[in-house]
Structure 1
Amino acid sequence: MDFKGKVAVVTGGGNGIGRAACLGFARHGAKVVVVDRDAGGAEAVAAEIGRKDAIACIADVTRAADVQAYVKAALDAFGSIDCFHNNAGIEGRIAATAEYEEAVFDAVMGVNVKGVFLGLRHVLPVMVRQGRGAVVNTASIAGLVGTPGMPAYVASKHAVIGLTKVAAGELGPLGIRVNAVCPGPIATRMIEDIARQVSPNNPEGVEERYTAGIPLRRYGTAEEVANVVLFLCSDLAGNVTGAQYVVDGGRTAAPAGVSQGKLP
């Protein structure tokens, strides 16, 4: 887990899993480019790392010009992009497919799919020129199974896994690895917003219901996901590409009602 002399770019780096990844990369010696449309969040994380080791880039990942700008900023500041955590994402609304708003669907697909694609489109050529690099896209267990009431989010995360597999196949012969991380419920702003949408009058009760279906009986932490991201970007994962690493406390391995902590 030695990232000395390496440069990591993290989208959605101002909060949650992205913030934890930025701090983790920096802790292990990397220079970090914190990309987020939330200027305050990005600036705060860069300041926490230290201005000689990190820069903040304000960007909308759905805009090609913004993506090109954060790639250029990384190269201008630090000279390379060795690790790319393609992480920015939004949850959208909770609603049945038959009632889902088209504008919300488009917004979710824009950030979660187009944003990931544009990141790959403009970072991968840099890695090809360098002859090295590792990418981790943030998917979700929603990219592996369906979640009623989240058609846009589920569709977008399935797409992220598809993009991961395509890029891994294309870039593997050049020594560039592309993987995905699939978090389950993680204690971040996103799960708090989902809980408020599901149960406005009792969001705390949503956590109780969700964790009852998780063998570890708790939400994961942003740091636990970031640790997997760092592993996948490190030389320790040198033979890992095109994979989806699940970080969900066992939720998809033992769905609700299967694991009760005791033998049948």
Structure 2
Amino acid sequence: MGDLNGKTALVTGSSRGIGRAIAQRLARDGALVAVHYGSNDTAAKETLETIRAAGGQAFTIGAELGGSGDAEALFAAFDTELAAYGAEPGLDILVNNAATRFRGRMAEVTEEEFDRTIAINIKAPFFLIQHGLRRMRDGGRIINISSAVTRTAYPRQIAYSVAKGGLDTLTLTLAKDLGERGITVNTLAPGWVETHVTAARTATPEERAALAAYSVFNRVGQPADIADVAAFLASDDSRWITGQRIDVTGGSTL
């Protein structure tokens, strides 16, 4: 993997799960990582501690997402914390991982649930990228975390699927727009991954086996499986890849 020494990264929703694993991996590769969280400051501090214990550099940023002005407020906090850390201003890697989901088929989703899903999963990344680009150095990396549900029908999470589909389109369009600056924009689309979100689905051996059966490798994905691919996309090794949706489902959609 490419050396990320001297790079600054922001990973949204990195207090737990996939986001935590990505933050840890980028820090291990040498990046200074801004660990963003919405409300769980305890979990964010745990992420920070694991990074520092491994010799990495990081700081935390607490900011809600999805409301008016949230992206601007997050980056104002980012600028402040970066300066307090003594690092050069600017951004090299932006990972849009923060997400929310409401279960429900078409007839069950409320307007409030739909609006919240769209706000967190597509509005927030859109404006985070807008503000992030004002700070991003040429040759930067934007990595959007989508989902397998944009290519596989999953009616029980229709609002989430629609929002993540929008994120895939945002990736494609931005990649063409930012090519002149050498900035790559790519999407990672995980399937079932063992995190706090899927804990209820892996509570028994039978449930775990059912999820594992989705993958050709007959196991449930781990956060590190996604983080390792994110690290590649963040590195110089991925410089000729942009506008792509990369399936990281362990072959679940084959």
Equivalents in 2 of 1:117, 1:23: separation in Å? 24
Matched, 1:72 2:79: no
Equivalents in 2 of 1:64, 1:6: separation in Å? 29
Equivalent residue for 1:261? none
Equivalent residue for 1:223? 224
Computed over aligned residues only, the root mean square deviation of the Cα atoms, in angstroms, reads 1.9
SS in 2 for 1:216: coil
Matches within 5 A, 1:173-252: 173-193=180-200, 195=201, 205-252=206-253
C-alpha distance after superposition, 1:73-106 (max 9, x if no partner): 434413221011111011212x221222222222
Equivalents in 2 of 1:101, 1:136: separation in Å? 30
Equivalent residue for 2:61? 57
Equivalents in 1 of 2:106, 2:124: separation in Å? 23
Matched-pair contact (CA < 8 Å) for 1:62–1:118: no
Q: Which amino acid aligns with 2:47?
A: V
SS in 2 for 1:131: strand
Equivalents in 2 of 1:219, 1:72: separation in Å? 38
Equivalents in 2 of 1:191, 1:53: separation in Å? 29
C-alpha distance after superposition, 1:157-200 (max 9, x if no partner): 1111011111111101221111000001000112225x39xxxx
Taking structure 2 as the reference length, what is the TM-score of the superposition?
0.89
Taking structure 1 as the reference length, what is the TM-score of the superposition?
0.86
Equivalents in 2 of 1:149, 1:167: separation in Å? 29
Matched-pair contact (CA < 8 Å) for 2:67–2:119: no
Equivalents in 1 of 2:46, 2:240: separation in Å? 35
Equivalents in 1 of 2:226, 2:20: separation in Å? 11
**Unpaired runs of 5+ in structure 1?**
197-201, 254-264
Matched-pair contact (CA < 8 Å) for 2:148–2:190: yes
Equivalent residue for 1:114? 123
C-alpha distance after superposition, 1:112-164 (max 9, x if no partner): 1111112111112222xx32310100001112221121101111111110111
C-alpha distance after superposition, 1:11-32 (max 9, x if no partner): 0010101100111111111101
Query: Identity over the aligned pairs, expressed in percent?
Result: 31
Matched-pair contact (CA < 8 Å) for 2:92–2:141: yes
- What is the CA-CA distance between 1:222 and the residue it aligns to? 0.4
Give the length in aligned residue pairs: 244
Matched, 1:91 2:101: yes
Equivalents in 2 of 1:206, 1:119: separation in Å? 37
Q: Which amino acid aligns with 2:127?
A: L
- What is the CA-CA distance between 1:204 and the residue it aligns to? 5.5
Matched-pair contact (CA < 8 Å) for 1:143–1:160: no
Structure 1 stretch displaced more, 74-83 or 181-190: 74-83
- What is the CA-CA distance between 1:63 and the residue it aligns to? 3.1
Q: Which amino acid aligns with 1:227?
A: D
Equivalent residue for 2:165? 158
| Residues 105 and 204 of structure 1: CA distance in aligned 2, closer, same or farther (over 3 Å) | farther
